[in-house]
Amino acid sequence: MILLILGLALCIGAHAACSGERGRTLAHALGRPRLLALVSAAVVVGVALVIAGKSTAAFIQIWVPPFPLRDGTHLLMISACLVFVAGLLPDSHTRALVRHPLLVGLALAGIAHLLSNGDLASILLFGVPSAWALLQVVVRERKHPMTPVAPALQWDAAAILLGMIAYSALLVFHGPLFGFALTGPF
């Protein structure tokens, strides 16, 4: 469990270190390429620690998720994939509507997984990044409200298509990647 907590702290700490005024100060002192290399290395090490920590963590059941909540997990994951992909595309209506879509997508994915996982390691793995993402949305919105974009329908179509492809790939490859095969929604 310690490795999981250290990995989460390293991932979130690396992102926190390079955001806002601290990030500008570090980028000026180290240079932007070096800062990005350091943050990337920290995140890679953090993810490795998270994987090692989750795979070796003792199973401590906190709550037993009711089976019908799994349908909600799939619906939230579809939403998370659509919002996340829309955040990667230039100007969609989703990006204009949802503030900070990458963070919202991360939070939705974490919340979705909390509906189907009630053990302590999973609660940490999915709850901590979700809480961090939601906190970042609030902080960023207060400091720097997003400027409006001029949405175009082709980016909405691309977000839907690519988001559903991403969701389908996660559904099909969830077992080989994460050790728990999924049967599909509903």
pLDDT, tens digit, for every residue of 56-83? 999 999 999 988 888 899 999 999 999 9
Enumerate the β-bridge partners of residue 119: 61
| Confidence check: pLDDT of 29 > 90 | no
Please give the span between the terminal C-alpha atoms of the chain, in angstroms, as a whole number: 33
Domain ranges of the chain: 1-57, 60-186
Alpha helices in the chain (DSSP H): 2-17, 20-30, 32-56, 69-88, 93-97, 101-116, 120-143, 153-178
Cβ atoms 75, 68 nearer than 8 A: no
How confident is the model over 93-116, as pLDDT tens digits?
888 788 889 999 999 999 999 999
| Confidence check: pLDDT of 129 > 70 | yes
